[in-house]
């Protein structure tokens, strides 16, 4: 049997790749791993404890908040606050960012952004959900509290990003900009163990992933591309949890799209908490991520914390093909 490499061991080994690393990022990634185990424990017993259902409130984006959304949010904040490795947090479930006081007079240089639970409409019916996170180096004066500008950095500035998928097994996938690695939680020892080394996305795949129920609400160029996917007999898969759809595409190839609709003229998915971290992972695995207006997601200026964008992300050849359809059918091309 091959020797097991735990997430902690892997992270520490990789610290050597960064010549001036102080161990802070290492500690931060480890803390996220701990929070993931705590959230996983609750997700797994969700039907047994009174944690299913709506919390009775709406988040800043006007969506119904589930009890487990709040639980995951609290656990992540607790772990990051107590770690001393993070000086600020922004979450999909919070209107504003939270500055964190330095622990033991240590000044941390990283801020963390996250979607504590992605796909929360799936919780009550036992379908996969996930946590998405991104880590930036702060750009404000390290002597003072963090500023909004620390969180409004472009995706190209991400130091690390990743996700945890609470599925048939629990997986943590992350990248620090040198490839993508995946770790499966072994419940018998309570450790994330290296299971997927240097993940690479296939150039194309047999799946496309879009909420086809909104077909008539999409612009003509997106409808033409979706028709093309259907003409090719590609298989439609749409879980309602972006992180789960992206996870499948990373392994099997394909394209995930969330275009603008009448209800969401700018798109629905959030740039800071969902699109940037997942675009970072997909690009690191050799894929592409652009908006339906053909800008590279990671280069988009971030104007506010809860900014929404459109997205097409996945296998490079398929994203390129979608781009060609948009260029061909778009009535008023605004792209470069």
Residues of this chain that interact with ligand AHG (CB under 6 A) are 63, 92, 115, 118-120, 211, 240-242, 268
Shortest spacing between CB 269 and Mn ion, in angstroms: 7
Out of 118, 221, 245, 283, name the contact with Mn ion by CB under 5 A: 118
CA 226 vs CA 26, 69, 255, 257, 325: distances in Å: 42, 32, 11, 10, 10
Tell me whether residue 181 or residue 244 sits nearer to ligand AHG (CB atom): 244
Near Mn ion by CB under 5 A, which window of 28-36, 77-85, 117-125, 302-310?
117-125
Contact string 244-283 vs Mn ion (x = CB under 5 A): ------------------------------x---------
The partner in contact with residue 283, picked from ligand AHG, Mn ion, none with C-beta cut-offs of 5 to 8 angstroms by kind, is none
Give which of 242, 238, 335 is closest to 292, Cα–Cα: 335
C-alpha–C-alpha distance, residues 262 and 274, integer Å = 21
Q: Give the footprint of Mn ion on residues 68-107 (CB under 5 A).
A: 92
Tell me whether residue 146 or residue 282 sits nearer to ligand AHG (CB atom): 282
Place of tokens 């919070």: 94
Q: Does 115 bind Mn ion (CB under 5 A)?
A: yes
CA 267 vs CA 70, 145, 191, 263, 270: distances in Å: 24, 32, 37, 9, 8
The partner in contact with residue 240, picked from ligand AHG, Mn ion, none with C-beta cut-offs of 5 to 8 angstroms by kind, is ligand AHG
Element (H, E) at 37: helix 24-44
C-alpha–C-alpha distance, residues 174 and 272, integer Å = 16
Contact 21, 85 (CB under 8 A): no
Tell me whether residue 109 or residue 217 sits nearer to ligand AHG (CB atom): 217
CA 91 to chain centre: 12
Shortest spacing between CB 189 and Mn ion, in angstroms: 29
Residues in the site for Mn ion, rule: CB under 5 A? 92, 115, 117-118, 274
């Amino acid at each position: 049997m091959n020797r097991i490499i735990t997430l902690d061991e892997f992270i520490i080994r990789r610290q050597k790749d960064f010549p001036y690393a102080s161990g802070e990022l290492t500690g931060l990634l480890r803390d996220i791993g701990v929070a993931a185990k705590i959230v996983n424990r609750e997700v797994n017993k969700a039907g047994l404890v009174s944690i299913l259902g709506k919390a009775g409130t709406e988040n800043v984006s006007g969506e119904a908040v589930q009890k487990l959304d709040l639980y995951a949010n609290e656990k992540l904040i607790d772990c990051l606050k107590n770690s001393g490795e993070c000086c600020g947090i922004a979450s999909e479930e919070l209107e504003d960012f939270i500055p964190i006081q330095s622990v033991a007079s240590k000044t941390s240089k990283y801020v963390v952004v996250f979607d504590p639970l992605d796909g929360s409409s799936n919780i009550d019916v036992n379908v996969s959900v996930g946590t998405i996170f991104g880590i930036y180096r702060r750009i404000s004066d390290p002597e003072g509290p963090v500023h909004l500008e620390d969180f409004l950095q472009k995706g190209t500035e991400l130091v690390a990003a990743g996700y945890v998928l609470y599925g048939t097994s629990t997986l943590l996938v992350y990248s620090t900009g040198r490839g993508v690695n995946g770790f499966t939680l072994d419940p018998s020892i309570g450790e994330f163990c290296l299971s997927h080394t240097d993940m690479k996305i296939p150039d194309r795949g047999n799946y496309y992933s879009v909420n086809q129920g909104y077909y008539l609400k999409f612009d003509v160029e997106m409808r033409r591309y979706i028709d093309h996917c259907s003409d090719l007999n590609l298989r439609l898969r749409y879980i309602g949890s972006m992180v789960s759809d992206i996870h499948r595409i990373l392994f099997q190839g394909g394209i995930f799209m969330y275009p603008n609709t009448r209800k969401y003229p700018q798109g629905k998915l959030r740039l800071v908490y969902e699109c940037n971290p997942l675009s970072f992972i997909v690009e690191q695995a050799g894929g592409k991520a652009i908006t339906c207006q053909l800008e590279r997601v990671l280069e988009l200026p971030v104007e506010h914390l809860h900014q929404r964008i459109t997205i097409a992300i996945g296998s490079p050849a398929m994203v390129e093909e979608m781009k060609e359809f948009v260029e061909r059918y778009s009535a008023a091309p605004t792209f470069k």
